[in-house]
C-alpha cells in the first residue's frame, strides 16, 4: 500500500507538467499540503490510498457497501501537485462538511446514482439533493479552501471538469451496491446538455458558501484534527524540499499504469510506448 511519501517520491509525467510549470517553492508548498492532509485524514481514522487507480478502488468499495471501511482512494491521475492537492482539498471539504466518524464521511455508498432499497418511490430526488449540494461545495470550494488551509494561490484541480451528481429523471442507470436500488438519472456522457446545465447551476449557487467565517472555522477544525493525526504518526518524513526536486519519469513495467486504469503499465499505456 503506497504512502503519501511513496507517491511523491515517484512522480510521473502529467498533462499539466507541474514539475516545470510550478516553481520549486510552489512544489514544496504542495508537498507540505499533502503531508498535512495525510495527517488530518489519519487523525479522523481514515487510511488514504495513493495507488493510481482511485476510481477502480472506489467502485470496489462502493459495491461492498461496508459501513466499517475506512479507506479513501486518492489518485486517478498521474499528477502529484495540481491534481493530487486538488483531490486532497476536495476530500477535506467532504470530511469537514460530513461525518468523519463514519465510512465515506457519512455519504451513502450508493449516492449519487442509487438510493436505499427501502426509500419510498418518488423520494429519490429529495434524498439525492443534499448529496449533490455537498459535492458542489467540494467542487467549487477547492480554490478558496486551498488558500485558507495551505496558503496555495496557484491553480489546483479536481479529478474531473465537473462535479459528480445524480440528477433523477434521465435514463442512465448504473449497478447498485448491496442494499440499494438504482435511480434513472441524467449523466454527462449520454445527456451532456441537461447534465452540465444542472451541474453549473448547482455549482454557481454554492460559490457564496465559502465565507471568511466559514473558512476560519474550517482552518480551526482542520488544525485540531491535523495535530491529532501528527501525534499518532510514528515515522519521520523526508523534507518537502527533497521530494519537490524529484523529476518525473514513466512508471516501471509492473507498476500501475499512470492513466488510472488499475492495469499494469506494460499491459496498458506501456504497450504503445514499447
Residue with grid cell 446538455, as numbered in its chain: 193
Give the predicted TM-score (pTM) of the model: 0.93
Q: Are strands 114-116 and 180-182 parallel, antiparallel or unpaired?
A: antiparallel
Give me 201's grid cell: 447551476
For residue 63, give every residue at least 6 positions away whose Cβ sits within 8 Å of its Cβ, in sequence order, or none. 175, 177, 178
**All three cell numbers of 239:** 523534507
Give how far the C-alpha of residue 213 lies from the chain's centroid of Cα atoms, to the nearest Å.
24
| Local confidence pLDDT in tens for the 274 residues of the chain | 889 999 999 999 999 999 999 999 999 999 999 999 999 999 999 999 998 888 888 888 888 888 899 999 998 888 999 999 999 999 999 999 999 999 999 999 889 999 999 999 999 999 999 999 999 999 999 999 999 999 999 999 987 888 999 999 999 999 899 899 999 999 999 999 999 999 999 999 999 999 999 999 999 999 999 999 999 999 999 999 999 999 999 888 888 888 778 888 888 888 866 5
Residues 196 and 188 sit within 8 Å (Cβ to Cβ): yes
Cα distance between residue 130 and residue 135, in whole Å: 9
* Count of the separate structural domains present in the chain: 1
The SS3 assignment for 166 reads coil
Q: Are 268 and 84 in contact (CB under 8 A)?
A: no
The tally of CA atoms less than 13 A away on the side-chain side of residue 96 is 28
Q: Which residues pair with 23 in a beta bridge?
A: none
Distance CA 211, CA 225 (A): 21
Between CA 258 and CA 272 the distance in angstroms is 13
Q: What share of the chain is helix, strand, coil (3-state, %, to 5)?
A: 50, 10, 40
Residue 77 is part of which domain span?
4-273
Pairwise CA distance, residues 146 & 86, whole Å: 8
* Spatial contact of 134 and 202, defined as CB atoms under 8 Å apart: no
CA–CA distance, 125 with 140 (Å, rounded to integer) = 22
Q: Are 14 and 259 in contact (CB under 8 A)?
A: no
How far CA 222 is from CA of 136, 226, 236, in Å, comes to: 20, 6, 21
Amino acid at each position: 500500500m503506497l504512502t503519501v511519501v511513496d507517491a511523491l517520491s515517484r512522480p510521473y509525467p502529467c498533462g499539466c507538467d507541474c514539475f516545470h510549470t510550478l516553481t520549486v517553492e510552489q512544489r514544496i508548498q504542495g508537498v507540505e499540503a499533502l503531508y498535512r492532509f495525510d495527517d488530518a485524514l489519519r487523525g479522523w481514522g481514515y487510511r488514504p490510498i495513493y495507488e493510481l487507480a482511485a476510481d477502480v478502488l472506489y467502485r470496489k468499495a462502493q459495491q461492498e457497501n461496508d459501513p466499517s471501511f475506512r479507506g479513501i482512494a486518492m489518485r486517478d491521475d498521474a499528477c502529484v501537485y495540481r491534481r493530487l492537492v486538488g483531490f486532497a482539498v476536495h476530500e477535506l471539504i467532504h470530511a469537514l462538511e460530513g461525518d468523519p466518524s463514519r465510512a465515506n464521511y457519512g455519504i451513502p455508498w450508493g449516492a449519487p446514482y442509487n438510493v436505499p432499497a427501502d426509500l419510498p418511490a418518488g423520494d429519490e430526488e429529495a434524498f439525492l439533493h443534499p448529496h449533490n449540494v455537498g459535492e458542489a461545495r467540494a467542487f467549487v470550494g477547492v480554490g478558496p479552501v486551498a488558500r485558507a488551509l495551505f496558503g496555495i494561490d496557484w491553480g489546483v484541480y479536481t479529478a474531473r471538469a465537473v462535479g459528480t451528481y445524480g440528477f433523477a429523471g434521465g435514463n442512465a442507470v448504473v449497478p447498485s451496491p448491496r442494499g440499494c436500488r438504482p435511480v434513472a438519472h441524467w449523466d454527462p456522457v449520454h445527456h451532456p446538455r441537461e447534465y452540465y446545465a444542472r451541474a453549473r447551476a448547482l455549482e454557481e449557487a454554492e460559490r457564496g458558501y465559502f465565507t471568511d467565517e466559514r473558512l476560519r472555522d474550517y482552518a480551526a477544525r482542520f488544525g485540531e484534527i491535523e495535530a491529532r493525526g501528527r501525534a499518532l504518526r510514528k515515522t519521520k518524513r523526508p523534507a518537502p524540499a527533497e521530494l519537490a526536486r524529484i523529476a518525473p519519469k514513466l512508471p516501471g513495467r509492473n507498476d500501475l499504469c499512470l492513466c488510472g486504469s488499475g492495469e499494469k503499465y506494460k499491459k496498458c499505456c506501456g504497450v504503445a510506448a514499447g
